[in-house]
Amino acid sequence: MCFGVRDAITLARRTAAQQSVTVLGQLVHNQGVLEQLHREGVRFAESPDEVRTDAIMITAHGASDKRLTAARLTGKKVIEATCPLVHYAHRELRMLLVTGYHPVIIGQRGHVEVNGLTEDLDECDIILTEDDVAQMIERPKFGVVAQTTQPIDRVRRLTDSLRRRFPKSEVLLQDTVCRPTKERQQAAVDLAQQCEVVVVIGGSNSNNTRELVQTCLKHCKRVHHIQSSAQLEENWFSADDIVGITAGTSTPDWIIDGVVQALKSLEQKVTSSTELAAAAH
């Protein structure tokens, strides 16, 4: 689990032990962790109007000034668990704006972090594909930032496309992809190149987990995205397979450990059933 999500969970737990608190949105894209936090008293809501607790917490994904103001107007205590690396992306975007660049955000439209980056802007482009670049109109200066969990090679590729499409424009990229994402993506490439099967553990709505799946698929044909050990299937594996495991930034250690244990049990089962089949021949 990355430090940003881990710190946000710790803050939610510590706050819930002292006062009632509601988190706006999903603190972490992992159902198991959310259920555990709920049992510890943490409440969740989508909008400040729904909050009935003493305090409101903003997630590690951050929030726009508009959303922060709406939270403060409820009169409740507002606690920010925004990751420092998301704050960095906000600061870089603001610098680009004040120096006259048209803002371009490489990220998933509608994702809470992207909403936090864009909700205060009068205009901006949110792009994720070459088609998105093709639909943009020319501006003298483009200032590019990325959602922190985007693969860095996509960010560079789309920035290059922008430069090719608008050769007369200045295109400035501020690299806001966070270090945990970069390290995890590179580790996933190294892993997938060595394995016959890769199991990626993480929430079905976790952007960085889905990106890990896509990255692994470029280097390994058999990639399975699961949320917990309960979703592992025996028929995905055969006795000689080297199986790699990776996980999104919001996957806790106890879920990963559960998958490792389940895979070890499966390994024995798959190996012995292969031996039985060989003996029968």
Catalytic positions, please?
113
Which helix or strand (DSSP H or E) is residue 194 part of? helix 179-194
Told to check if 15 binds ligand SF4 by CB under 6 A, we report: no
CA–CA distance, 73 with 150 (Å, rounded to integer) = 33
Q: Which residues of 97-128 are buried (b: 16+ CB within 10 A; e: fewer)?
A: beeebbbbbbbbeebbbbbbbbebeeebbbbb
Residue 54 in contact with residue 77, Cβ under 8 Å? yes
> In the set 249, 251, 255, 256, which binds ligand SF4 (CB under 6 A)?
249
At 37, the amino acid letter reads: L
Nearer to ligand SF4, 15 or 207 (CB): 207
> In the set 180, 202, 244, 252, which binds ligand SF4 (CB under 6 A)?
180
CA distances from 43 to 40, 62, 87, 112, 250 (A): 9, 18, 24, 18, 18
Nearer to ligand SF4, 60 or 78 (CB): 60
Nearer to ligand SF4, 5 or 195 (CB): 5
The torsion angles phi and psi of 67, rounded to 5 degrees, stand at -70, -40
Q: How far is the CB of 37 from ligand SF4 (least distance, A)?
A: 16
Told to check if 60 binds ligand SF4 by CB under 6 A, we report: yes
Nearer to ligand SF4, 61 or 225 (CB): 61
Told to check if 86 binds ligand SF4 by CB under 6 A, we report: yes
Q: Work out whether strand 21-24 and strand 43-45 pair parallel, antiparallel, or are unpaired.
A: parallel
- Piece of the chain touching ligand SF4 by CB under 6 A; list 69-77, 79-87, 226-234, 268-276: 79-87
Told to check if 83 binds ligand SF4 by CB under 6 A, we report: yes
Q: How far is the CB of 78 from ligand SF4 (least distance, A)?
A: 19
Told to check if 53 binds ligand SF4 by CB under 6 A, we report: no
* Terminal Cα distance for the chain, rounded: 46
Please give the residue ranges that form the binding site for ligand SF4 (CB under 6 A): 2-5, 60, 83, 85-86, 148-149, 178, 180-181, 208, 249
